Amino acid sequence: MRTVILATSYPSAPGDAAGHFVRAEALLLAREGHEVHVIAPAPLREAGLEAHAAGGEGLFSWPGAAARANEAPLRLALAPAFGLRAAWLLRKLRPSRLIAHWAVPCGWPIALLAGQADFEIVSHGADARLLLALPAPLRQGVVAALLGRGVRFRFVASLYRDTLLATLTPALASLLERASRVEPPRVEVSGIKGKSPRDARVIVLARLVPDKRVHLAIEAVSRLPGLSLLVAGDGPERARLEALAARLAPGRVQFVGQLARPEALARLAESAVLLHPSAVEAAPTAVLEALALSTPVVACDAGDLALWARSTPLLEIAAPEAAALAAALDRAIKGRLVLEISVGQALHERIGQRRDKLAIRGADLGDADQTGTGRGARLVRGFAGGRRGLWLLHRLRHTRRGYRGFVVRRVVPHGRGGAIIGGANEREARAWIEGRPPRSEMACDAELAARRARKRAHDSPGLIGCEKDILLPTRPSSL
């Protein structure tokens, strides 16, 4: 199937962060066997994708068309040339499927001018705000024209869809609701390697503009002695923010400017917490990337973030005030994870020799308590603090087989993280999951929870979290 992705924002060079989520979708489709063509101002050429340049990079490059047009209004003259070139390329390629990122201008008028009848529009924040800013008759006309061609809409956040629906006539809103869905943007973090966090460092990834509220991050960090802040991003507010940091937290805030995407992700992976105080982003990719890298996030409520927070313990929503953000950061860094694992005799002897600290993949277990579980195994209860503990919880939740000498059985809530119950070997863990007679005290004590876990793991294999249990995303047969 020939699939064309049309976008005004797309990486033009390795490390370029512009439209990285569009590239992530293109690469995913290519891996699935599609013949993928990308039409963008100056798209990066790489294996597996066919790139077609439509020009207009003077308007559409980072940090976006709106910001660049505000800086130099004459850049808007580049838009018609881009639209005509993109429409010509669409007619030439004749795709069987078109995915147009940004309803305006890629969906309307470009795709309509090209006569493409079967396509999907992905609506992000900028185009949704542009549609809402249009006069009501024009907004109704644009949506009606697109729906009249059988267009399907994909909104990256429910906030954008709900807000647009509220401005349309009831009939048109009903049509749009049936022809649309909500799906967060895709992110690509494979191959990113960061050092294990050694200090309490918070990171902010944002353009330095008022809506991002980076000043709140500086004020929050200033309330927590010993905490440092890395600000990755640039913008017109940088000088004011640097002066604020020098006054409130001298020597503890570092501004590194706009980083290449791989470096920014590596810094994110090795940070203790991502702080995201933005007021306007309904589906921020920085938060999605942090969660994909198992980095805890403290964010202010905006868009769908509160909805995302229900499905992962790594994301906490805080009020947009310095005191509330500081308290949330303190919880994220000092949060504790209780681990319950069964270990063999060799590891048990190691614990006896060094009870103060046992390192398991970067999580420090302190004050270990040893309890016999039969058959030579021992139950170890300990604590893993902060980002390392949450990282281990996230990794263990997605483990299907043995992990460094033990098998994960169950994950249940415990404070900021969760309690993990593991087995001495895979056979015992499988018996426990399948409900056969347990062979250890630990399994006996957790039999009721086991029945609940079996049912939920079978019914919802991809479940990340729920009100009472955080379960392994796997079916019993795959353990």
Domain made up of 2-182: CATH architecture? 3-Layer(aba) Sandwich (3.40)
d(CA 479, CA 477): 6
- The more confidently predicted of residues 439 and 79 is 79
CA torsion, ordered 404, 406, 412, 416, to nearest 10 deg = -30
Residue 295 is predicted with a pLDDT of 84
- H-type alpha helices, 362-465: 386-397, 426-434, 441-445, 447-459
pLDDT for 450:
42
User: What is the C-alpha separation between 459 and 476, in angstroms, rounded?
Assistant: 11
70 — pLDDT class (breaks 50, 70, 90)? confident
Residue 197 CA to residue 213 CA, distance in Å, equals 25
**CB-side exposure of 409: number of CA atoms within 13 Å?**
32
What does the DSSP assignment read for 70-139? HH-GGGGGHHHHHHHHHHHHHHHH--SEEEEESIIIIIIIIIHHTT--SEEEEE-HHHHHHHHHS-HHHH
pLDDT 10s digits, 276-325: 999 888 899 999 999 888 788 999 999 999 999 887 778 899 999 999 99
Q: What pLDDT score was predicted for residue 197?
A: 55
9, burial (CB in 10 Å: exposed 0-12, middle 13-18, buried 19+)? buried
Question: What 3-state class would DSSP assign to 216?
Answer: helix
Number of H helices, E strands in the chain: 20, 19
pLDDT at 407 over 80: no
Distance CA 114, CA 218 (A): 48
Q: Is the peptide bond preceding residue 109 cis, with omega within 30 degrees of 0?
A: yes
Q: Do β-strands 315-318 and 297-300 pair in parallel, antiparallel, or remain unpaired?
A: parallel
- CATH 3.40.50.2000 domain residues, the chain: 2-182, 201-333
Summarised one tens digit per residue, pLDDT across range 37-48 is 999 999 999 999
Q: Residue 310's pLDDT is what? A: 82
Q: Which of 195, 260, 254, 205 is nearest to 230 (CA)?
A: 254
The Cα 131–Cα 142 span in angstroms is: 9
Cis peptide before 105 (omega within 30 of 0): yes
Residue 433 and residue 425 in contact, taking contact as beta carbons nearer than 8 Å: no
Note the pLDDT of residue 106: 93
Query: Can you tell me the distance from the alpha carbon of 308 to that of 277, in angstroms, rounded to the nearest whole number?
Result: 15
Judged against a pLDDT cut of 70, whether residue 102 lies above it is answered with yes
Model confidence band, residue 196 (pLDDT cutoffs 50, 70, 90): low
Q: What pLDDT, in 10s, does the model give residues 323-333?
A: 999 999 988 87
Confidence of residue 194 (pLDDT cuts 50, 70, 90): low
Q: Using CB atoms within 10 A of its CB, is residue 92 exposed (0-12), middle (13-18) or buried (19+)?
A: exposed
Residue located via tokens 């924040």? 125
Has domain 201-333 been given CATH number 3.30.930.10?
Answer: no
Does the structure show a pLDDT above 50 at 363? no
CA–CA separation, 44 and 13 (whole Å):
5
Tokens describing residue 188: 């690509």
With CA atoms as reference, report the closest residue to 107 among 78, 134, 144, 81. Answer: 144
